[in-house]
Each structure stands twice: as C-alpha cells, then as structure tokens.
Structure 1
C-alpha cells in the first residue's frame, strides 16, 4: 500500500516533467528555445519539439505579415511647402535570433516602436528631396518604393523585413491652406495672363497677315482691273476709230444723238449756251456740220 502511495506521485511527476519538456510550434509562429536568457535553439518548422524542463523556456513570435500604421507627421518637401503625411507599412520577422537580440523581452510591441522610428526617418529624408507636387500627385509609387527600400536596409539589423510602405494621406496643414490656395491662385492667374498675352500676340500676327493678304489681293485685283479696263478702252477706241473711218458723218450723227440723250434727260443740270452753238447743229438741219470742227463727245 505504501508503495502504491509513492508510485502515484512519481508517475504524476514524470508526466509533469514530460509535459514540461514538450512544446508545439504553430505553423503561424516561430519559436526560440532560451536557457537563462540565451538562445539555444530556433524552431521554425511547425510540429512537436522538445526542451529541457525547468531550465529552458520557449518564446514564440508571429511568422505572418504584420501591419504598422504610422502617426501623422509634418514634412517639408524640396519647395518648403509643409505637408501632413501618414503611412502604412507591412513587415515580417525573418531572423528571430536578431529580432530577439534587438527587442529583448519587448517582443513585437518593441519592434513596432523601432520600425515606426525607422519609417518616419526615411519618410522625412525622402520627402525632403522631392517637390510637393510629386508628393501630392496620383502616381507616388516610385516615392513609396524609395522609402521602402531605404527602410528595409535599416530594418534588416533587427531581423525584420519591410515588405511594403504606402502613403495613406498627404494633405496640407490647416494653417497653410489659405496661403497655399492664394499662391496657387496667383500662379494660375499668372499662367492665364501669359496665355492671354501669347494669344493676343498670335491673334495680332494672324490679323497682320490677313491685312497684308487683303492689301495684296486688292492691289492685284485693282491691277488686273486696270489692265482689263485699259484693254477694253483700247478695244473701244479701236472700234470707234474703225467706225469713224468707214462713215465719219454717221459716226458724228450717232455721237451727237448720244450726247443729246445724256444731256437732256430729266434730273440733269441745266445747260446755258447759244442757240447757234455747234452742239445743236443736227437740230437745225439734217446735214452734218461742215468744216474741221469735231462733234463734242459725251461719255
């Protein structure tokens, strides 16, 4: 009976010791076996593992991709226009030994603080090398990649890999909105004035070209009209000369009738002349005037 009483506690102690020496690594975790604070083994494969009971401890860390939102901060880009920026990072523990040495017993909370400092420092540095238009543009991928790459180099020393960094907000501080809008309005007005001036200059050139073209076309038309008029006058004079040469008396008669028609039609000014004037020669008789006096033409 006494032996049975001793056997039960012994079995219980063995079971307790056995259970203390066994631990399970989850597929979502990585584990470190520590002995008096020193790393003795790294367990990254999921499954059942063993340790020395009461002497060694097991610390687990998340093996998944973790998130890290940063606090809003004011940055000064290259053109000295202050902006409020916050970011979102994704990271993962890749070297648990370095991670343990860097964060100690602080674990993931301590790591978030270190990563926040690293990412904020890189945001300040990268933002200071570009103008605010680049930060506020729709395509900020190259900018975010620069921040990620530089932060990744520094985070490697603590056993962490920064997978991605995204700028979630880039706004102007409230106290700078009015002055920024005024400056933007002044810039747009200056651009509009320049465009109007260039448009006026172009319109003046077009107008001058059109005026010159009108003058050239008008001059050419007047020149051609004068040539046609001269040719017509020459043809008319030739016809007159030919008609006069064929029948001088009939030519003088028709010319006189034309002159009577134009001179005596209604609305013309009054004509005062002597009754025996040569102009009325055909009204006094039906013979042509004699002598060398020519009939007065009326055009």
Structure 2
C-alpha cells in the first residue's frame, strides 16, 4: 500500500492539472474567445466559470480575454484646416467597445493597441473632413453637437469592420495654432486701436462742441449782462437827471449852492493843477457871500474835472492856466 502512494499522488496531480487547464473564469466587464488550434470555436460574453479542452500548451484550446466595457481613446493636438484656410488644433476622444469579438479577433488578432491605432488614423481623417467644410466659429457654436455626431457617423462603418462599436465622439478643445493665434491677436489689437481712435475722435468732437456751446453761452451771457447794465445805467442817469430837475424846481437856491460846493470839491481835490482866477470871479461868489444868490439867467458855479495840465474855468469865470 505504501508503494502505491507515490503513484496515487502523481495521478492526483495530473488530474488536478488537467482540471486547472480546462477551467477558465470570465469576470464582469470581460468576454472570452475560445480558440482551438487558432480557430474561434466559442465566445463567452457572460461572466462565470467555463470549461475548455486541456493541454493549452499544445495549442489545443486557448482563451483570449477581451474587454467588454466601454473604453476611451484620446487624441490630442490634431491639426485641422477649416474652410477659411487657417489651421487649428483640436483635442477629441472616442468612447468605444468591442461589440463583435469574432470580427475583432479576425481584424486585429484581438490586439486593442492595433485597433486603437487604426481608430486614431480614421478619427484624424474624419475630423479633417468635418472641419474642412466649416469655419472656426462653427466649433464654438451650437453646430458643435452636429459636428461631433457627424464625426461619429463617419467612424462607425470603419469601426464595425474592426468589430468595434463607437458609442460617442467628443471634441474637447478647438484652439488656434501659435501662428494663427498671433495673427488673430494682431488683428484684434488693430481693431481695438481703430475703435479707440474712433471713440477718441468722437470725444474730441463732442468736447469741441460743448466748449463752443459754453463759449457762446458765456458771450451771450456777458452781452446780455452788459445790455442790462447799460439799460440800468441809462435808467439811473435818467432818474438822476429827473431827481436833479425836481430838486432844482423845488429849491433853486439850494440846488445852485449844492452844485457850487461839488465844483469846489472837484477843483480842490485835483492835484498837479494850478488855477489863476480873479477873486471877483462868479466862481467864488459863495466864498464872498454865503447867502449870495445867482442872478436870474446866470448859471451856478461849476467846475468839471480838469485834465492833466489844464483846468477849465467855471461858467462866467475867466481862468487862465499855467503849468
């Protein structure tokens, strides 16, 4: 019995090895392709434990695991040309999954890297076609959604030939290239400078208009004030003359005396003037006789303001001037 234990152990080990070689597990998010001598004999799409023929090392049956989940392929800095002839840089990504494992195995031997390389090339071409029919502003407007759907629809036939299903295509960024960005900046700068010059010119015109209006209002106000002052001065002179006339009518003697006193004050306040008058002159009659009254028809003594070198005599006086 003891001599049979090694044999039993070997047989058990062989059985365990055969069992292990014939079992494979498919996890959630995976699908398995069962191959026999390189040919696909079965595809397992649901998670679980499955059996296959053993001796995979003899290439009898083998299992290739393929992702079942939706995967993402990013493409950055794709250089595209729009309808206007300018170039832009676009970032986009594809959401896809393996929908047909048999076709996927036959097209790219089940290598996801090869499938993504072919998708990258076809996405680049689709983006160029879509952008080539539009201008730059389309990618920044509501048409952006239509552009993404159009790229997706162009990719789907090629993806189907690879056993893939393109779920969605998204354009993440559309930006100016360095040279176009500088040109756009220079153009925008020139437009802003022109706008600033236009606004500055409008401001200068408005300032000149306001200044001219203010100057005109000043001239009109000053002229109106001068006119009013002349009118008031004339009215005052008229009122003064009327007051003097009324005073003369009421008391001619006092009025003559008042005018003579004003003439004396004017003559004596003037400096630099010498007057030579006769003491018997009518001009000094109130000095000789404070009660003197002018003869009828004879004007009262008066003396206007003298010039720098000459002092005119009062009425009825015979003055001579000397410097």
TM-score normalized by structure 1? 0.67
Deviations 1:158-211 (A, max 9, x none): 2122364322864413xx677666555544433332232122112112212222
Q: CA deviation at 1:235?
A: 3.5
Gaps of 5+ in 1: none
Give, in whole Å, the separation in 1 of the partners of 2:154 and 2:200.
52
- Counterpart in 1 of 2:27? 26
Q: 1:199 aligns with which of 203, 207, 228?
A: 203
| Closer/same/farther in 2, CA of residues 195 and 264 from structure 1, 3 Å limit | same
- Counterpart in 1 of 2:104? 100
Gaps of 5+ in 2: 55-59, 160-164, 306-323
Q: Does 1:172 align with 2:178?
A: yes
Give, in whole Å, the separation in 2 of the partners of 1:195 and 1:279.
77
Q: Is the 8 A contact 2:151 2:169 kept in 1?
A: no
Root mean square deviation, CA, Å: 4.6
Q: Which has the higher contact order (CA 8 A, sep 6+)?
A: 1
Q: 1:222 aligns with which of 226, 229, 241?
A: 226
Map 1:86-165 → 2, pairs under 5 A: 86-89=90-93, 91-93=95-97, 95-96=99-100, 100=104, 103-105=107-109, 107-121=111-125, 123-124=127-128, 125-126=130-131, 129-131=134-136, 147-157=147-157, 158=159, 159-162=165-168, 164-165=170-171
Q: CA deviation at 1:60?
A: 0.7
Q: Is the 8 A contact 2:92 2:169 kept in 1?
A: no
| Closer/same/farther in 2, CA of residues 73 and 14 from structure 1, 3 Å limit | closer
Give, in whole Å, the separation in 2 of the partners of 1:121 and 1:202.
57
Q: Is the 8 A contact 2:23 2:52 kept in 1?
A: yes
Q: Does 1:292 align with 2:297?
A: yes
Count of residue pairs brought into register by the alignment:
283
| Closer/same/farther in 2, CA of residues 281 and 186 from structure 1, 3 Å limit | farther
Higher CA-based Rg: 2
